[in-house]
């Protein structure tokens, strides 16, 4: 299984601590089996510490990339949301016109009340929902990696 399988973690930690306190000359004076065991404990625990540190670093990096992507997409969507001002009043006018002139064409009845450009902006804003937001975050994340 492992080099120190069946050995208590406390014992391995004690061996590592002992090896960490020793000078190189102390290792020369130690019998070879003890020296190898102490160095193995030192290397074994140090390898685990390095792996843990690398995993922590990777998690922090992924979090930073994700946060950056979310901020970038939020900024884009906020700009989209701020383009159409007075949405409620415009939508009220649009509904009122549609009800009062149901037989007229959109171009004749609706566009004089609310411009085609404004309607396109309203459609664009409506598309800026959570699904689109998450999709854009994933796209930005893929672009960062």
Q: Count of domains in the chain?
A: 2
Q: Are 100 and 55 part of one and the same domain?
A: no
CA atoms of 34 and 18, how far apart (whole Å)? 11
> Do 12 and 4 meet the contact criterion of CB atoms below 8 Å apart?
yes
What does the pLDDT look like over 26-63, one tens digit per residue? Answer: 888 899 999 999 999 999 889 989 999 999 999 999 98
Q: Angle 110-111-115 (CA atoms, 0-180°, nearest 5)? A: 125
pTM of the model: 0.49
Of 30-34, 70-74, 76-80, the least confident: 76-80
- Domain span including residue 143: 83-145
Q: Are 137 and 91 part of one and the same domain?
A: yes
Provide the 8-state DSSP code for 45: H
Candidates 2, 3, 45; CA nearest to 20 is 45
């Amino acid at each position: 299984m492992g080099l120190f399988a069946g050995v208590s973690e406390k014992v391995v930690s004690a061996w590592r601590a002992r090896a960490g306190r020793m000078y190189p000359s102390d290792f020369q004076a130690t019998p070879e089996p003890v020296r190898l065991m102490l160095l193995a404990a030192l290397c074994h625990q140090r390898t685990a510490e390095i792996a843990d540190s690398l995993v922590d670093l990777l998690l922090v990096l992924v979090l930073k990339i994700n946060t950056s992507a979310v901020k970038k997409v939020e900024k884009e969507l906020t700009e989209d949301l701020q383009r159409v001002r007075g949405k409620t009043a415009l939508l009220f006018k649009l509904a009122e016109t549609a009800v009062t002139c149901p037989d007229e064409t959109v171009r004749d009845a609706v566009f004089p009340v609310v411009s085609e450009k404004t309607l396109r902006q309203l459609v664009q804003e409506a598309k800026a929902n959570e699904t689109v937001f998450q999709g854009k975050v994933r796209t930005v994340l893929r672009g960062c990696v």
